[in-house]
A and B are shown apart, each in its own frame.
Chain A
Amino acid sequence: MIEIKAKLVRADSAIYATGERVECLIEFTHRVFTDEHSASQSGNANEASPENLAWASAQLHCYRKTSYSHTSTGDRTAELTEMVGRTALDAVTQAPGEVIVATKPKILFCDLRLQRGETKMYFFNEFVPRDGPPTYRGHNIRYFYKITIATQRVKSKVQTLTVPIRVLPIPIISRPDELPVTVETNEELAPTNPFLEKREISELEISWHHLKNVTARRAPKFYRISNKRGFVGRFCLFKPAYKLGEDIVGSLDFGQCQVRCVQFSVKLQQQELSIRPQPVQNQQLQSQSSTGDDVSSMNSFDMASIASGVVADNLHKSATSGSSRDKDAPEPSGKLSTISTSHQVCYATLQTQVVVPIPLHVTPTFRTDLVDVRWRLHFEFVTTTLMDFGIPNPEFGELKAPAELPVETMVWNLPVTIYAANPLQIYSPNQTFNMLIK
């Protein structure tokens, strides 16, 4: 009996950024169990002693599972399956869903012979494809990554062991002019001497640096919140782009308000907009009508880099008010899921803050040809025009709070962009995956 164990080297966080290297230790052990041992002793002992495996390979796959009809994407799947057909093992059968990215399978060994109790360990490493989607579990679509370790005994069928990993998207830099930011400029003379080797800066490193730039705090934006009855408050968001695990911090100032905000809630919502394969013109139209100014570009991360470059206009008029829901919404909201909520009763509050944590387990903003995942802050302000208790404050004596308070609610959405965090900083211990081949 052979036991196969797979353990990712990065034991404390089985999370990888695109372009990073997955490293996995795969162990093959010839395990002898006591009952088997005795059985083999009684029977033909020489036959059972060494175990043999014909080959083993390891490969990284990205799968997609959608609830969309497959007819529209038929040709694409055909193309993809064609690609899969070239690999040694049919990964499509291993997991539900289509394989959309597959790395070249790596052969771990051919004809492995294991003595009783012997263990051999192999090291598999592979780059997570740079252009693949992140791990995402949405309403209508799922993307997930698995390392498939396949092995076969002579005259047996192929056995596979899968190790799931989580992949975070690191945006590919679309503007190469940001590149020099990372180059250390201490060498005034560009060394043409080939003996002076400069440390190579990997593309991932550059992207990471870029991402840090984008998510740095700059250009606070102020929003005046008013409804038709008057000024409610002023909201300030200190940056538009965040990394996973950060807190979205905003300030709310209710000073000098004309309408009292009784309570408010801010929700971090994920929007899943499915992009149905459509004729080209329609798609363009749709992208123009949607809010993002540059949704038409394939890489949604452009949006943040452009936005971050914008100098703060001091006040941004908030276009939304309570009545906005009456109008027919021009933009599709997609499937919404609320991730975290910050709720405050702010009856007496003059100045307060909004802190919405971004959990580490969510998928950052991304876009593929089938889905567009965005993030937004969904505000609900419950306001009342009753600045006092409905009766004039007495000159002396008791003033009791009224039993009821008429309120109105207004809703406002503010898009934010969420990026990946450093995978090493996310704690998600992974276990060992194992399989027994009898």
Chain B
Amino acid sequence: MYFPVGWPKRVGLALPGESASIRHICCDAVKILVAAVGDGFLGIWYANPLIPIAYFRRTEDSLRQYGANQLIVWKPDSRQLALLTASGALLLYQLDFDANGSGILLQVDPPAASLKRDSAELFIKENIPRLSLRELCSVTLGSVITTLLRLQWSQLEHADKELELPALAAIKLRDIPFYVQQQSQQASARNVPPLSRDSYVASLEYSPFIGGCAAVFSDRRAAFLIANHLRFETDHMHGFWVPDVEDASVCSGNHKFRLLAYGQESSAVNVYAIDDATGGLEFSHRLMLTENVLPGSLGAVNELKWSPDGCVLAVSWTNGGLSLWSTFGALLMSTLSWDFGLNVDLVRQNPLKLRRLEWSTEGYQLFMLTQQPPEQQEKDKGNVLQLQFVKSALSMNPCMTTNPHILLQGDDCLYLNQGNNLELTYAGSQATFPASGVGSAEEASGDGDCLELKQSPHTGSILTESKYWTVLQLPLNYAATNWPIRYAAIDPDGLHLAVAGRTGLAHYSLVTRRWKLFGNESQEKDFVVSGGLLWWHGFVVMGCYSLLDRTDELRCYPADCKLDNQFGHKLQVRAPVISLNSFRNQLIVLTADGIVSLFNMSKKSAYALDVECAYELDVKSICIHPACIVSLTVTNLKNELKPQGQQPGGEQAETIIVNVCGRILMIQRDVGEQVPNTLLATCLASCVEVFWLSHSLERCAMRDCLWLYSGAHGMRVWLPILPPGRERREGGQGGAQRLHSFMSKRIMLGFPLKLYPLVVLFDNVIVLGVENESTLYANEQGSHFSLPFAVMERKSQIYLHMVLRQLIKRNLGYSAWEIAQSCRSLPYFPHALELLLHEVLEEEATSKQPIPDAQLPSILDFIREFPVYLETIVQCARKTEIALWPYLFSMAGKPKDLFQMCLQSEQLDTAASYLIILQNLEPSVVSKQYATMLLDIALQQRKWELAKDLIRFLKAIDPNEIDSPRSSMVVNVKIAPPPQVNTQQQVNQNADAFNMVLGPIARERSFSTTVTSNLPKDKQVAGASGVAPVTETSSSGAPSVVRRRSTKQRETFCIDLILQRHARQLLQNHKLMDLGYMCAYLDFHLVSWLSQESERAAKLDDFAGALQALHEELQLPSPFPTPVKDDFAQLRGSIRQTGGGGSSQTSESGYFSLATPNGAATQSPQLQPAIREEEEELQQPSSLPVLKTRSGSQLSFDNFRYRRLYSLPASEDDLAVDPLPEKLSIKLRYLLQLFIEANCTDYALVLSILLQDAASISRIVNGIIRSESVHTCRRTETALKQLSQSTFEHSGSLYRGFVLTLQPHVYLLEQYIQSLGDAACLPLQDASPGAEQGWTSPLDSTDWRTKRVNLCQNRSRPTETHGRWRTFVQITSGSRGTQVWSRTEMQQVASGSSAQSTPTQRQLPRQNSRDREGCRLM
């Protein structure tokens, strides 16, 4: 749980003003002083702040005689140092404390005020001792020594000043350890295979708790030396060869966990534990870096160092690199996975090639000696790096496992990360407020603002782990004298923090953001916190040693009071506190004399509490030394869980759980006994670093579990297995005799974790941890700052699926189901299921051997219990290799069936995912068939996005593959030319649009060339090539790949058919909006299709009905509401009011056709250069020339402007009606444009009416007239009349006023029909039957009123006469007629009023007035 922060600092430890390479660094036992040796000198430094105290430089003679310095070792009492030289001499130095000086390097400010320091932190409070260094003596060791020798003075010092020397198990080697006056030589007789004559100890480390030494010999053999007696006499010593380690290079011992680590040449590290029973070695785990590393590129392990608290092991390799491992082998950090930038080749030249490592105070810093290539050595002056670390508060204070916050401690600051991971609930936070019991919430929110709820701009990234660290710096007054932080604690609510440094204590409130320190500084200096620090109901509870009384105590200080001893509570204990923990109101304390005491705490008042000892328990029998107890707690967790309600005295904890050197022991209380019995201790697990207990949970069903983390062995949970709920309930009712049968058991489940867990959020089935990442700040070559900058990132990992899997594996599906059920509300629950499936699948499908008992079926059965089953399977499949799919689907069912199930349950998106699978597992035909099926449904359900993807999918299926069975050949679909059909057509369509806009430019030519042939040809195309209309035209452009293309076209054609069919349906049901969406999303070329359909589906018979249907679709109020009786008078009134406008109406439309040529060009969205248009015309002269030529002048009136300028009579009515919402009207307008382009006048009219756009109606009418199709004119006229008819039938209609304004158009049409009849029918009268004439003429001659009645009575008449009109159209369409008409229109426009002698013109005003009359009468 150590994490590096920032760049390593580079420090120069050479003599002042010089630069030299440092050979070795060693901290003294209390890590206050640092000794650094260079080739010819020794320097003593104060550790923090890093300030030199004294140097000693050896004489030239000495250097010549003994060689350069190699190693330095401190005596445990820090008074003497032993220095080993290259030629094997030991030099002894004495360090004397110089009491008469006040200190060294006191900084003295100059007299000038401006140059004085003024910040408090710049005045160093640390009292750096004045020390002097002198050489005591030098001893040349035996002749053979050219060795690295690691010496340890044993801890015991006897009265006779004789210091025990470590057992040096060198056979036949006169290896002479040496101290002060006495020199002793030992050679131990060994019962192991003899060492070769010239082998020596290469590495040696002694650990008192292990009771022996780890040793590595020069022949690369590793040994473990034990002495039966602490004196380490040869006679009492024996050694073990470490099995399987034949290439050991270094070794190191962990006192607290009693581990021995042997580094090997093979770059691995083997870690052994001591077997308590035999005293022998027991293989624990192996550390091997595999990630980001080429095998064999690391080189041998050249340094191993356990951190002072035994929580991490630092490992470095000869070829460079540093890594940190937790006690039981979880990789915490490795510089080889750091990002060094592109320029650095880690294999060849690792910038972090380290020779020596040394932990500094409390493990917050790691000194690293780099091995620099000779050319750099001069330039960089200084090869000492100091890497800063922060560590989890758990490492010193294991009682912090009970809180849900990540708390890390640096040497003078705390890093805090709070908040449970479930911020996801607030994603799109508007959805989170409860749908309040009353419906008034919506009401309230809707009130006042109709703004849409916008998501805050980053909700998508809410589950990212990049939540900021809250960095709390220790207050200067405390940190200056009490550096560094030793213990840190946070309360479960995350509101209070407490830290303890070298002495005293300070605490912080996150609410007020204030530190509280002792008011009386001497009280602060009077005690040292030891053993732990915790929060209990607003009190800080700690074990401490009082320097004043020289006693060990438990102290409690209330958080709310001033920090002062008068508010504190003291309780003396017999021995130093080693560890403490609390459970509810109980405090458990382990003291150094091996006694566990349990205290009951009770709150007397807000500021006072009572602590009473409940019992004491001797635990010496279960551990070698109390210091080996890593952590302990008291809990009510029981091995056997009794049914609810049967627990006697629920609050009272019954069980003590102890972690002794990684072994979890549970000490239970016997029934009827008050005190737990250590003899009843049971070992639950070994290799445990941290453990958690889950007591009461809100959400998750995994209650009363013990969670263990054991490094490389992963996480384990000790889970109670409850009987199924039904039985449990029966058991509750069933009475006493059944109760015993329901005592449930527990089960231990293990699962791997990718990160180091610091916090387990049981409710969220997630573990939180911190990972070491790195960023690169600078990339200057060779600069120190081009090293990666280490940062910490909070990470989380979900473990639900792993627990489920283990349970299912053990046929405990019911428990699994129960747990899963309780977690269903979690946002990542489906993800967890997916992971569950994925892991099992990967494992079983890739296994080489046949699996006797495959787990996949039961997993699938389990997932089937949840509604996300189909989705889970497909998501999982899509994330695994295709090779595994057959296995998956052989168990999960055929993809086809699953696909069908998706369709049945209407999970279209999931079904679409299955298509990918089908495509890979089935012949293309099948997947195509299914895709088509899905496309149909998607279209019906208006899933446009999905439909778009499906079309893409369908088009991407290689047509050649359809016939052949599935092959792995990848045919590049992109090579095949894109379906030019559509693009070509689209261009043309656009050209039409341009023509409408820019009509006048090409007017002449289009008249002469196209008009005559136009309509027949159009029809011919539509009629003859209904299958694939435009393929012929475009095929000339593509020279090659004909076959491919044709199939390709068949493909697209197939899709087109579906789309067309659907579009037709939509059109027939008047679902124009859907049609709009469809063509927008699916690239469906509506205009071209519509122009084909203009005579079929796009034809409207019942205008009023269509309007009504549209209103329904758009959720507008009905256009024809049920009539209200007394509306008549009102209606009359309104008509009278608007009466005046009628006469100006016709002239307005005329005016507009004059005024727009300028305006239209600017307003049209499809403005294009005019030349373009000509080209298009040359290419395709067929479609709609009449509209093209003329309509430009009338295009794009703005409805609003129109109304505003001319105050249409309709506007008054409009005001009463809600105007269309803006977005909707834009859409409608767009559709209108499309319909006009496609010459679908019927729908265009309906839409114009819906939009109440008189200008567009007049445009359409003009267009119809110019189309010279009497039939169309007739239809339109009838339709308009019919509309006005139904409008007036329903008196409350919206369009009442608007329809009135349409009457001039109706009249115009009539006139035109009549004029056509006059102009065209006369010469043809003989040829054509009289019926047409008979049909038209009565209309002309009859009075307006009668005609209207007539129409109303025979509403269906136009349709009946359909066929006849068509022939008429063909007859009358001639260029002459058009020209005549257009001229008249022009004249009419110019003059405005009827001064001309054309019959049409003359009749106009009269008709107008008549019109008005008619309206009134209606």
Contact = CB atoms under 8 A, between A and B. Distances in A.
Q: Decide whether A and B are members of one complex.
A: yes
Interface of A: 9-10, 12, 17, 20-21, 23, 25, 104, 106-109, 119-125, 127, 191-196, 202, 204-205, 208-209, 217, 220, 236, 238, 244-247, 249, 251, 253, 255, 262-263, 265, 267, 322-323, 325-326, 340-341, 343, 345, 347-353, 355, 357, 359-361, 380, 382, 384, 387-389, 393-410, 421-427, 429
Given A350-B10, A359-B471, A322 B114 contact: yes
Contacts of A380: 117-119, 122
A424 B459 contact: yes
Interface stretch (B437-445, B593-601, B1022-1030): B437-445
A326 B109 contact: no
A25 B433 contact: yes
Contact of A352 (B9, B62, B470, B1223): B9
A396 B60 contact: yes
B57 A351 contact: no
B1133 to A, nearest CB: 37
Contacts of A10: 426, 429
A325 B417 CA distance: 41
A204 B117 CA distance: 45
A401 B1077 CA distance: 84
A255 B782 CA distance: 13
A399 B1226 contact: no
A424 B424 CA distance: 10
A23 B430 contact: yes
B122, B381, B466, most chain A CB atoms within 10 A: B122
A430 to B, nearest CB: 11
Contacts of A108: 444
Given A195-B1080, A396-B58, A263 B115 contact: no
Given A205-B457, A396-B58, A425 B468 contact: yes
B448 interface: yes
A196 B107 contact: no
13 contacts: A120-B437, A122-B441, A220-B778, A244-B468, A341-B473, A350-B10, A351-B9, A353-B7, A361-B513, A400-B55, A402-B105, A404-B105, A407-B117
Given A125-B445, A380-B117, A422-B458, A399 B55 contact: yes
Nearest to A394: B57
Given A204-B457, A263-B124, A410-B115, A393 B433 contact: no
Given A204-B457, A393-B17, A393-B57, A245 B468 contact: yes
B45, B426, B457, most chain A CB atoms within 10 A: B457
Nearest to B479: A343
Given A17-B456, A323-B114, A387-B16, A195 B105 contact: no
B491 to A, nearest CB: 13
Given A23-B430, A195-B1230, A251-B777, A403 B56 contact: no
Interface in B449-464: 449, 451, 453-454, 456-459, 462
Contact of A360 (B116, B382, B470): B470
Interface residues of B, number: 107
Given A405-B106, A407-B107, A407-B110, 9 more contacts: A9-B432, A10-B426, A251-B784, A348-B51, A350-B784, A398-B56, A402-B104, A404-B108, A425-B466
Interface string B773-798: 00001100000110001000000000
Contacts of B417: 427
Interface in B1-21: 5-7, 9-13, 15-18
A255 B378 CA distance: 12
B121 interface: yes
Given A397-B56, A399-B55, A120 B13 contact: no
B62, B108, B459, most chain A CB atoms within 10 A: B108
A389 B14 CA distance: 12
A393 to B, nearest CB: 5
B109 A409 contact: yes
Contacts of B180: none
Nearest to B54: A400
B419 interface: yes
B1165 interface: yes
A401 B445 contact: no
B386 to A, nearest CB: 9
A127 B453 CA distance: 10
Contact of B106 (A208, A349, A403): A403
B103 A403 contact: yes
Contacts of A355: 5-6
Contact of B52 (A265, A348, A352, A425): A348
A360 B721 CA distance: 45
B433 A9 contact: yes
A398 B54 contact: yes
A427 to B, nearest CB: 4
Contact of B784 (A21, A124, A191, A253): A253
B468 A396 contact: no
A249 B106 contact: no
B121 A341 contact: yes
Nearest to A387: B17
B471 A403 contact: no
B1042 interface: no
Contacts of B1309: none
A402 B53 CA distance: 9
A42 to B, nearest CB: 31
Contacts of B645: none
Contacts of B494: 429
A121 B441 contact: yes
Contacts of B440: 109, 120-122
A124 B449 CA distance: 11
A349 B1165 CA distance: 68
Given A107-B447, A353-B9, A359 B119 contact: no
A407 B109 contact: yes
B492 to A, nearest CB: 13
Contact of B118 (A195, A202, A402, A409): A409
A126 B1335 CA distance: 66
Nearest to B1166: A192
Given A122-B444, A407-B107, A350 B56 contact: no
A267 B120 CA distance: 12
Contacts of B1341: none
A122 B382 CA distance: 68
Contacts of A109: 440, 444
B436 A122 contact: yes
A12 B116 CA distance: 46
A166 B941 CA distance: 45
Nearest to B464: A425
Nearest to A119: B437
A384 to B, nearest CB: 8
B10 A352 contact: yes
Interface in B190-208: none
B102 interface: yes
Contact of A350 (B11, B106, B133, B436): B11
Contacts of B7: 251, 351-353
A350 B417 CA distance: 33
A398 B785 contact: no
Contact of B1230 (A120, A194, A236, A247): A194
Nearest to A326: B114
A195 B453 CA distance: 21
A394 to B, nearest CB: 6
Contacts of A196: 1080-1081
B1265 to A, nearest CB: 30
Contacts of B466: 425
A106 B105 contact: no
A215 to B, nearest CB: 13
A399 B101 contact: no
B1165 A192 contact: yes
A68 to B, nearest CB: 26
Given A405-B106, A424-B423, A424-B462, A399 B432 contact: no
Given A353-B9, A382-B117, A424 B468 contact: no
A123 B445 contact: yes
